[in-house]
């Protein structure tokens, strides 16, 4: 069933967020691409390597708890630049770190501060575009992930060059400098006055907490693919780890296409229908990728998986904002906690299962998480 079409205007502040998320994506997918190579370099197990994902989760949870206070105290604009600055500090630490404590710290710091920039900007987009909030959040993430495609390809090239894979960790630093120089003065207006009035100790509804659990499952699926899909691709096809990292490029192409397409669909159809459809697409892509040993088919499976996975986070976050009772900054902070738990536990559990049963069997975790997310969505769909 379609609904009356909704439109929104992409103004200069909107494009600032889009480009900021492009910089964010080079951090996220740079660290994701680096993990298999980093694991081999450090000589650690998959479970220990998965602790890097746990570190990313811890950072996201801690900053998520502080996010509402940070935006109240310093405003959204300052919070975003604090987040971007801290993200780059973490990337530099990974780039220069040669031992496990340094790389774990770098992943944790980069993720924690990056989460500030991400979730503050999503709350601002929701305010700025009103009824088109879901579409603007999805499209922002689509534009952002476009930068992740060349970033993963650049990682693969650098990993095989004399510069080495660590050179790729400085790509976000360079892009941040360009962003600050070209659009550093742009930002949305701060939170509307009615949001300040809406801040209350009144508990969130049960549907809000259900939406958080759904977001946890969705983020866990995305991060298990981000951090371990290249490893499984290598094992199943015989590609080297550096070559298999190009599989993430195929997945990112799918994510970008899914987010652009999903943004258009949310302007025409109920969000819950689009959300459920993306879960089905994710499952179909997983089945193709998981069952094949052919390189070309693996790329197809990753691309289809990405088309579905790409919409999981934007729609999950939108759902939490919509059920927050007019408290987008608080909802975004809590969403960061839920997402942090998902991004940490998903890769760690998959890594532990991989050590015990092999990565191929461990990847059955993905459809299990999608099933839980679908159940949570359907149980509260009446409020979409």
Q: What is the pLDDT of residue 282?
A: 95
Q: What is the pLDDT of residue 67?
A: 82
pLDDT in tens, 10-19: 778 888 888 8
Q: What is the pLDDT of residue 4?
A: 55
- Distances in whole angstroms, Cα of residue 126 to Cα of each of 139, 154, 214, 277: 12, 33, 19, 22
CATH architecture of 206-380: Up-down Bundle (1.20)
pLDDT at 201 over 70: no
pLDDT at 289 over 80: yes
Using a pLDDT cut of 90, give the percent of the chain over it. 25
Q: What is the pLDDT of residue 41?
A: 85
- The DSSP 8-state label assigned to residue 161 in this structure reads S
Residues 354, 360, 363: CA angle, nearest 5 degrees: 75
One DSSP character per residue, 332-352 reads HHHHHHHHHHHHHHHHHHHHH
Q: Where in the chain is the domain with CATH 1.20.1250.20?
A: 12-191, 206-380
Report the phi/psi class of residue 188: left, alpha or beta, with left for phi > 0 and alpha for psi in -120 to 50. beta
pLDDT in tens, 18-71: 888 889 988 987 887 788 788 888 888 877 887 887 888 888 888 888 888 888
pLDDT at 364 over 60: yes
Q: What is the pLDDT of residue 8?
A: 66
- The DSSP 8-state label assigned to residue 204 in this structure reads P
pLDDT in tens, 255-270: 889 988 888 888 888 7
pLDDT at 189 over 70: no
pLDDT in tens, 305-319: 999 998 898 899 888
Q: What is the pLDDT of residue 383?
A: 45
pLDDT at 196 over 60: no
- Distances in whole angstroms, Cα of residue 353 to Cα of each of 195, 341, 364: 44, 18, 10
- The DSSP 8-state label assigned to residue 202 in this structure reads P
Q: Which of 64-68, 143-147, 253-257, 298-302 has the highest mean pLDDT?
A: 298-302
pLDDT at 199 over 50: yes
pLDDT at 195 over 60: no
- pLDDT confidence of 191, banded at 50, 70, 90? low
What's domain 12-191's superfamily in CATH? MFS general substrate transporter like domains (1.20.1250.20)
pLDDT in tens, 75-125: 888 898 999 999 999 999 999 988 899 999 999 999 999 999 988 888 888
pLDDT at 194 over 60: no
Question: How many C-beta neighbours within 10 Å does residue 164 have?
Answer: 13
């Amino acid at each position: 069933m379609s609904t009356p079409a909704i439109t929104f205007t992409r103004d200069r502040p909107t494009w600032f967020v889009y480009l900021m998320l492009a910089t964010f994506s080079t951090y996220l997918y740079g660290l994701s691409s680096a993990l298999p190579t980093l694991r081999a370099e450090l000589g650690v197990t998959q479970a220990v390597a998965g602790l890097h994902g746990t570190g990313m989760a811890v950072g996201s949870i801690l900053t998520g708890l502080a996010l509402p206070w940070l935006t109240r105290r310093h405003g959204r604009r300052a919070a975003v630049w604090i987040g971007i600055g801290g993200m780059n500090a973490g990337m530099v630490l990974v780039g220069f770190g040669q031992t496990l404590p340094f790389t774990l710290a770098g992943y944790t710091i980069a993720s924690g501060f990056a989460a500030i920039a991400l979730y503050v900007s999503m709350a601002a987009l929701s305010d700025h575009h009103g009824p088109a909030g879901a579409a603007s959040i999805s499209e922002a993430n689509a534009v952002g992930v476009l930068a992740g495609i060349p970033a993963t390809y650049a990682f693969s090239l650098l990993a095989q060059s004399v510069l080495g894979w660590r050179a790729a960790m400085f790509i976000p630093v360079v892009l941040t400098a360009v962003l600050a120089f070209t659009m550093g003065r742009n930002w949305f207006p701060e939170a509307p006055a009615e949001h300040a009035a809406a801040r209350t100790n009144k508990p969130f509804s049960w549907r809000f907490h259900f939406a958080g659990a759904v977001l946890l499952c969705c983020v866990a699926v995305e991060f298990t693919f981000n951090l371990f899909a290249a490893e499984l691709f290598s094992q199943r096809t015989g590609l080297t780890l550096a070559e298999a990292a190009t599989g993430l490029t195929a997945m990112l192409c799918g994510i970008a296409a899914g987010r652009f397409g999903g943004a258009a669909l949310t302007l025409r159809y109920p969000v819950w229908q689009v959300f459920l459809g993306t879960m089905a697409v994710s499952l179909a892509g997983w089945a193709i990728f998981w069952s094949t040993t052919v390189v070309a088919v693996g790329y197809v499976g990753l691309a289809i998986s990405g088309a579905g996975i790409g919409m999981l986070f934007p729609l999950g976050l939108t759902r939490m904002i919509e059920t927050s009772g007019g408290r987008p900054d608080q909802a975004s902070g809590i969403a960061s906690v839920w997402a942090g738990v998902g991004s940490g536990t998903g890769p760690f559990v998959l890594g532990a299962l991989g050590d015990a049963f092999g990565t191929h069997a461990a990847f059955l975790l993905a459809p299990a998480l999608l099933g839980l997310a679908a159940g949570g969505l359907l149980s509260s769909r009446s409020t979409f």
